[in-house]
């Protein structure tokens, strides 16, 4: 499917899966209540969970947001296009369904040439959460989209996503930057850009995407642990796949499949491999996936957050 076809579908108020540098998104006209509602229906996503609005020009931010602090503009100048979502007070042009009935809107400018060209061809921004069923593994390839949402879902095929983990979500409270979701842009990078420390959002109340207790989950039971050897012993009757991040020695007799995520390219490489690894392991009929705890520094905070929520409670 080409950009013109995608545009016609979106102009008609329907859905298209679009590529970004992070994961594939399920897109609709962000300013159309009926179109956005189709996203929630297709994903089986609860209406209280807000969507991220995608734009292609910095000026578009002023169309949908108000009272924009200087810090937000500085972040946008430094990181857009790219995997950073900025939360701002919304204007009335944005329907409440897009923002989960919140008075703020989450905005980002994706770094993918196809999607930027598509956005440039439209006279409205696109709401686009990940193009998969709610709480399942995020899609980084067109086939992941079709497997989750059905072969009939239109996909603007941009190949495999290069970032393969979601954008960081940052907002402001009294000019202090708050990280609502850790992602590809680290808290340290944001702090360096603004020359001030960030704080993490710390509440069970879901006000931004990616804050559900269970999310990004494979069908296979997953345990995220600092003590993998104990889990191996406790589940000795199971067929186990192990995702490793450290250099500890592993008794391979206790497991059936072993993936070392950081050996070649460190935590940055592990972030790029994370969802593809979970998708592949989910197809291999293991009884259990054991993921080793990740150091919570830099991009490790994002990997930790994804795996913590990916556990199947």
Token code pair at residue 206: 């879901």
On the question of pLDDT at 203 being above 90, the answer is no
Token pair 């296979």: residue: 220
CATH topology of domain 222-310: Rossmann fold (3.40.50)
Secondary structure element (H or E) that encloses residue 34, with its range? helix 33-43
pLDDT at 164: 82
Write phi, then psi, for 201 (nearest 5 degrees).
-65, 130
Helix (H, G, I), strand (E, B) or coil at 189: helix
pTM of the model: 0.95
**What is the number of alpha carbons within 13 Å of residue 240 lying toward its C-beta?**
25
Residues of the chain with CATH 3.90.870.10: 3-200
Compute the CA torsion angle 177, 182, 186, 192 (nearest 10 deg). 10
- Could you tell me which of 118, 103, 109, 106 has the C-alpha nearest to residue 157? 118
Residues of the chain with CATH 3.40.50.11030: 222-310
List beta partners, residue 106: 52, 87
Residues 265-292 have a mean pLDDT of: 95
Mean pLDDT of the chain: 95
On the question of pLDDT at 25 being above 90, the answer is yes
- Could you tell me which of 63, 71, 15, 39 has the C-alpha nearest to residue 209? 39
On the question of pLDDT at 313 being above 70, the answer is no
Helix (H, G, I), strand (E, B) or coil at 106: strand
Token code pair at residue 241: 């796949």
On the question of pLDDT at 11 being above 80, the answer is yes
Positive or negative, the CA dihedral 136, 267, 78, 170 is positive
Q: Is the CATH number of domain 3-200 3.90.870.10?
A: yes
CA–CA separation, 173 vs 92, rounded Å?
21
Token pair 């104990």: residue: 230
The pLDDT confidence band at residue 102, using thresholds 50, 70 and 90, is very high
Residues 48-82: pLDDT tens digits?
Answer: 999 999 999 999 999 999 999 999 999 999 999 99
**Cβ-count burial of 193 within 10 angstroms (0-12 exposed, 13-18 middle, 19+ buried)?**
middle
CA distances from 274 to 91, 148, 212, 245, 300 (A): 36, 18, 19, 11, 11
User: Is the Cβ–Cβ distance between 40 and 47 less than 8 Å?
Assistant: yes
The pLDDT confidence band at residue 32, using thresholds 50, 70 and 90, is very high
For the chain, give the number of residues: 313
């Amino acid at each position: 499917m080409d950009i013109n076809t995608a545009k016609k579908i979106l102009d008609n108020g329907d859905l298209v899966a679009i590529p970004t540098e992070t994961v594939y998104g399920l897109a609709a006209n962000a300013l159309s209540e009926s179109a956005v509602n189709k996203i929630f229906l297709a994903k089986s996503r609860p209406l209280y969970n807000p969507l991220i609005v995608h734009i292609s020009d910095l000026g578009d931010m002023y169309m949908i947001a108000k009272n924009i602090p200087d810090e937000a503009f500085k972040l946008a100048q430094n990181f857009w296009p790219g995997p950073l979502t900025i939360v701002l007070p919304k204007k009335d042009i944005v329907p409440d369904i897009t923002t989960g009935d919140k008075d703020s809107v989450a905005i980002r400018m994706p770094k993918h040439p196809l999607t930027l060209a598509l956005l440039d061809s439209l006279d409205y921004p696109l709401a686009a959460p990940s193009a998969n069923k709610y709480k399942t593994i995020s899609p980084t390839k067109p086939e992941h989209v079709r497997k989750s949402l059905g072969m009939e879902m239109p996909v603007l095929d941009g190949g495999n996503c290069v970032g393969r983990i979601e954008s960081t979500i940052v907002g402001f409270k009294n000019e202090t930057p708050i990280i609502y979701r850790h992602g590809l842009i680290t808290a340290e990078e944001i702090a360096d850009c603004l020359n001030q420390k960030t704080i993490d959002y710390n509440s069970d109340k879901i006000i931004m995407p990616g804050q559900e207790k269970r999310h990004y989950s494979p069908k296979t039971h997953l345990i995220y642990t600092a003590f993998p050897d104990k889990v191996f012993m406790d589940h000795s009757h199971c067929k186990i796949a192990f995702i490793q991040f450290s250099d500890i020695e592993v008794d391979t007799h206790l497991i059936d499949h072993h993936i070392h995520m950081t050996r070649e390219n460190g935590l940055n490489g592990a972030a790029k491999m994370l969802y593809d690894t979970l998708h592949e392991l989910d197809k291999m009929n293991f009884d259990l996936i054991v993921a080793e705890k990740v150091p919570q520094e830099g991009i490790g905070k994002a990997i930790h957050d994804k795996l913590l929520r990916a556990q199947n409670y």
